[in-house]
Structures are given as structure tokens and as C-alpha cells.
């Protein structure tokens, strides 16, 4: 049996000295012009998708030195249809080959029998699935309640998988539902996340059932950390969405970067657009290094 996700991600963070999660969001117009087929109006969808895969495989090679994990965003692959699905599997396998953990950003949530199919799709696999194409963890939407999560909890126990349940998202309209009520909806979800995670705690007392809490709400991040002391956080919203290194610090549990991964997608993948004259790969490498240094420094200062 695979060891618990919580243990594996903690080890990966220590090994890389970084809590940077590289979001693989292949937004077509932003991909460097070197990947010509992406931008060629005469290219077929399959050619375009293959070029997207080529780009992401190179991003993975550049990221492997300084990132413990990558987070492919399913939507951008699905936009390329069946051709995108082929590249989804290719990119995940490439990340595993590079020694990276893979968090599938899929935000699924459905009734029990359907949730079981999603758990197979991303975490456990049907017969004939290459295990290298499965994710180590996925993001989930809690709107349907416990039975939408149960098949994934089972995958945590049987396959050492991890989950990150949406609690408080980073987007501007997240308050419309998540911040309403007393306790707020997000706080109610946080309590459920704590309960769901109780059966998936590793030897260090950390659960494999995590929470997504956006960097765009730094004060709330501290509150959710207090509510969920043993829950891994996935913190989106850093960089392009406005979050700074200081904003993410309350998500961590110690000065050695325990307890949280911080995602950046556009800020890493498309760093070349902000660094005129720098080849895209050098720009990506430098942006990831900067992010790791900024967050590592801010966390170390706070817990010193």
C-alpha cells in the first residue's frame, strides 16, 4: 500500500525546501510562441493539444528541482476534448517520472455512485488504467455533502490518496455564498472537513483530507488554520490573483513550511511575459525560485 498522502507531501516539501505548487493551466493564448502549433490557425485540435503537452512537459522539467508538486487544471485539458484527455494522462505521467506529486484540480462533487466513478477516474483507476496517469490528490467541491466525499475518503485509506475540499476560494465572488451565515458556509464546510479527515490521519497526526483556502483572505486563513490545526491547506490566489508571501503565512503550521502548499499558475508558467527578453524557460525557473524564496523567508521570519 502507498503511504499516506499527508506523509508524502510533507516529505516532498522538506526535500525541495519549498511549498510551491505549480499550477498547470494551459491557457492557450498565453503559451509561449515557440510552441507554434498552439497558435497556428491551421493546426488540428490534436496538433494543438500535443503542443500544449510539449510545453507542460518542459514546465515540469524546469519545476522539478524546486516544487514538491504540480496541479494540472482539468478545465484547460477538457477544452481540447478527447485530444486534451490524452495530454492530461501524458502530463501526469511526466510529472510522476520527474518525482513530483500531482494534485488534480478537478473540483468534482456529485452523488455517491457518481462520486465513486470520479474517484476511479482520478485516484484509483479502472482495470487497464496506467497507474502513472492517476493523481496523488484531487480538489473537491463540498456542496452535495458527505456522500459526495465518501468514495474519495475510501481512496485515501486504500490508495494513500489525498483530498483538498473547497472551503474558501480565492475568486472575487466567493463571498456570495461562502461568507454568508453565522457560522458562515465556509466555516460549516471547515467543520465537515475536520470530521471527514478523522479517519485519514498519519503517524505525525496530520490528515490526508485537506482544505482549499484562498490567499486573498489572509485574516480568514488564520481563522481556518485555528479551526483545522491538522489539515493540509492548498492556498490559491498567490501572485496573479493578488496574494503576497505575507498573506499565505497564516496557513502554515511551522517554520519548516509544514501544513500548506501555495499555488501559482500564470505567475510561473507565463513569467516570460513579465520578463522581457528572457527565454520563457529561464523566466519560469526564476519566477519559481523567487516565489520559493519569498514564501520560505516570510514563513521563517514569522515562526522564528
C-alpha cell at 183: 457560522
195 CB-near residues (< 8 Å, 6+ apart): none
Site string for its own copies, 11-50 (x = CB under 8 A): --------------x-xx------------x-xxx--x--
285 binds its own copies, rule: CB under 8 A: no
Q: Which range touches its own copies (CB under 8 A), out of 185-193, 203-211, 250-258, 290-298?
A: 185-193
Q: What are phi and psi of 172, to 5 degrees?
A: -55, -35
DSSP classification of residue 221? H
76 binds its own copies, rule: CB under 8 A: yes
81 binds its own copies, rule: CB under 8 A: yes
- Rounded Cα gap, residues 243 and 291, in angstroms: 12
Q: Which range touches its own copies (CB under 8 A), out of 5-13, 57-65, 109-117, 284-292?
A: 109-117
Rounded to 5 degrees, what angle do the CA atoms 241, 81, 89 make? 80
State the minimum distance, in angstroms, from the CB of residue 30 to its own copies: 10
CA distances from 90 to 50, 68, 94, 136, 225 (A): 10, 19, 6, 15, 35
State the minimum distance, in angstroms, from the CB of residue 128 to its own copies: 4
State the minimum distance, in angstroms, from the CB of residue 152 to its own copies: 12
Bridge partners of residue 108, in order along the sequence: 140
CA distances from 165 to 30, 113, 169, 237, 239 (A): 28, 19, 10, 16, 22
> Using an 8 Å Cβ cutoff, are 256 and 14 in contact?
yes
> Using an 8 Å Cβ cutoff, are 148 and 110 in contact?
yes
132 binds its own copies, rule: CB under 8 A: no
192 binds its own copies, rule: CB under 8 A: yes
In terms of CB distance, is 206 or 212 closer to its own copies?
212
Which of 63, 148, 207, 284 contacts its own copies by CB under 8 A?
148
Residue 107 falls in the annotated catalytic set:
yes
Which of 24, 166, 249, 291 contacts its own copies by CB under 8 A?
166
Which of 34, 65, 66, 175 contacts its own copies by CB under 8 A?
175
- CA atoms within 13 A of residue 31's CA, in its CB half-sphere: 25
- Rounded Cα gap, residues 175 and 178, in angstroms: 5
In terms of CB distance, is 189 or 257 closer to its own copies?
189
Residue positions annotated with a catalytic role: 107
Which parts of this chain interact with its own copies (CB under 8 A)?
A: 25, 27-28, 41, 43-45, 48, 73, 75-76, 78-82, 84-86, 88-89, 107-115, 117-118, 120-122, 126-129, 133, 141-148, 166, 169-178, 180-181, 185, 188-189, 192, 236
Amino acid at each position: 500500500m502507498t503511504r499516506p498522502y499527508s506523509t508524502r507531501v510533507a516529505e516532498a516539501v522538506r526535500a525541495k525546501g519549498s511549498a510551491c505548487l505549480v499550477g498547470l493551466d494551459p491557457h492557450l493564448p498565453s503559451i509561449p510562441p515557440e510552441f507554434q502549433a498552439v497558435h497556428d490557425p491551421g493546426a488540428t485540435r490534436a496538433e494543438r493539444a500535443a503542443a500544449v503537452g510539449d510545453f507542460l512537459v518542459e514546465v515540469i522539467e524546469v519545476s522539478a528541482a524546486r516544487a514538491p508538486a504540480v496541479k494540472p487544471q482539468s478545465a484547460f485539458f477538457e477544452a481540447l476534448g478527447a485530444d486534451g484527455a490524452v495530454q492530461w494522462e501524458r502530463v501526469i505521467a511526466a510529472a510522476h517520472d520527474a518525482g513530483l506529486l500531482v494534485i488534480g484540480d478537478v473540483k468534482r462533487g456529485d452523488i455517491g455512485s457518481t462520486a465513486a466513478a470520479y474517484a476511479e477516474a482520478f485516484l484509483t483507476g479502472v482495470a487497464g488504467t496506467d497507474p502513472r496517469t492517476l493523481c496523488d490528490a484531487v480538489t473537491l467541491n463540498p456542496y452535495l455533502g458527505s456522500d459526495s466525499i465518501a468514495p474519495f475518503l475510501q481512496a485515501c485509506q486504500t490508495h494513500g490518496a489525498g483530498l483538498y475540499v473547497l472551503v474558501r476560494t480565492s475568486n472575487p465572488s466567493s463571498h456570495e455564498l461562502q461568507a454568508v451565515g453565522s457560522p458562515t458556509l465556509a466555516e460549516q464546510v471547515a467543520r465537515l472537513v475536520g470530521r471527514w479527515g478523522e479517519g485519514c490521519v498519519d503517524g505525525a497526526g496530520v490528515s490526508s483530507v485537506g482544505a482549499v483556502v484562498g490567499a486573498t483572505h489572509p485574516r480568514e486563513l488564520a481563522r481556518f488554520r485555528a479551526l483545522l490545526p491538522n489539515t493540509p491547506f492548498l492556498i490559491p490566489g498567490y501572485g496573479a490573483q493578488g496574494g503576497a508571501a505575507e498573506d499565505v503565512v497564516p496557513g502554515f503550521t511551522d517554520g519548516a513550511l509544514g501544513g500548506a502548499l501555495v499555488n501559482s499558475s500564470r505567475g510561473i508558467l507565463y513569467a516570460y511575459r513579465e520578463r522581457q527578453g528572457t527565454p520563457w524557460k529561464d523566466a519560469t525557473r526564476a519566477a519559481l525560485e523567487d516565489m520559493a524564496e519569498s514564501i520560505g523567508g516570510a514563513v521563517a521570519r514569522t515562526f522564528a
